[in-house]
Amino acid sequence: MRHTQLGRSGLKVSTACLGTMNFGMRPGMGPSSSGGFDETEAARIVDAFLEAGGNVIDTADAYNGGESERVVGRAVRGRRDSVVLATKAFLPQGPGPNDRGLSRAHLTRALEGSLRRLGTDHVDLYQCHQWDDSTPIEETMATLDGFVRSGKVRYIGCSNFTAAQIVESQWAAERAGGTPFVSLQPQYSLLARSIEAEILPVCRRHGLGTLVWSPLGGGVLAGRYRRGEAPGPGTRMARLRASPMPMARAWADGLLNEPNLVVAEHVAEAAAGLGATPAAVALAWVRRRPGVTSVVVGPRTLDQLRDNLAGLDLDLPPEVAARLDEVSRPARTAPVDGTRAGE
**pLDDT tens profile 94-124:** 999 999 999 999 999 999 999 999 999 999 9
Write out pLDDT tens, residues 26-79.
765 544 444 567 899 999 999 999 999 999 999 999 999 999 999 999 999 999
| CA-atom Rg of the chain in angstroms | 20
For residue 25, the model assigns a pLDDT of 84
What does the alpha-carbon distance between residue 205 and residue 208 come to, in Å, rounded to a whole number?
8
Q: Which residues are paired to 155 by β-bridges?
A: 125
Alpha carbon distance 89, 144 (integer Å): 11
Domain edges within the chain = 3-220+283-317
Q: Where are the alpha helices (DSSP H) in 162-255?
A: 163-176, 199-206, 236-241, 246-255
As a residue count, the chain comes to 343
The per-type count for the chain, helices as H runs and strands as E runs, is 12, 10
Which positions ≥6 away from 43 have C-beta within 8 Å?
Answer: 74, 75
Strand-pair partners of 320? none
Query: Would you state the pLDDT for residue 34?
Result: 47
Q: Containing H/E element for 146?
A: helix 137-150
In sequence order, the β-bridge partners of residue 209 are: 183
Residue 179: partners with Cβ closer than 8 Å, 6 or more residues away? 141, 144, 145, 148, 149, 155, 156, 173
Instruction: Give residue-wise pLDDT tens across range 183-221.
Output: 999 999 999 999 999 999 999 999 999 999 999 998 999
Residue in 63, 126, 188, 225 annotated catalytic? 63
> What is the model's pTM?
0.93
pLDDT band at 244 (very low <50, low <70, confident <90, very high): confident
Can 63 be counted among the known catalytic residues?
Answer: yes
Q: Which amino acid is at 304?
A: Q
Going by C-alpha positions, the residue among 329, 317, 322, 307 that lies closest to residue 222 is 307
Averaged pLDDT score across all residues of the chain = 92
User: pLDDT digits over 251-290, tens only?
Assistant: 788 888 899 999 999 999 999 999 999 999 999 999 999 9
Fold annotation for 3-220+283-317: TIM Barrel (3.20.20)
Distance CA 158, CA 207 (A): 13
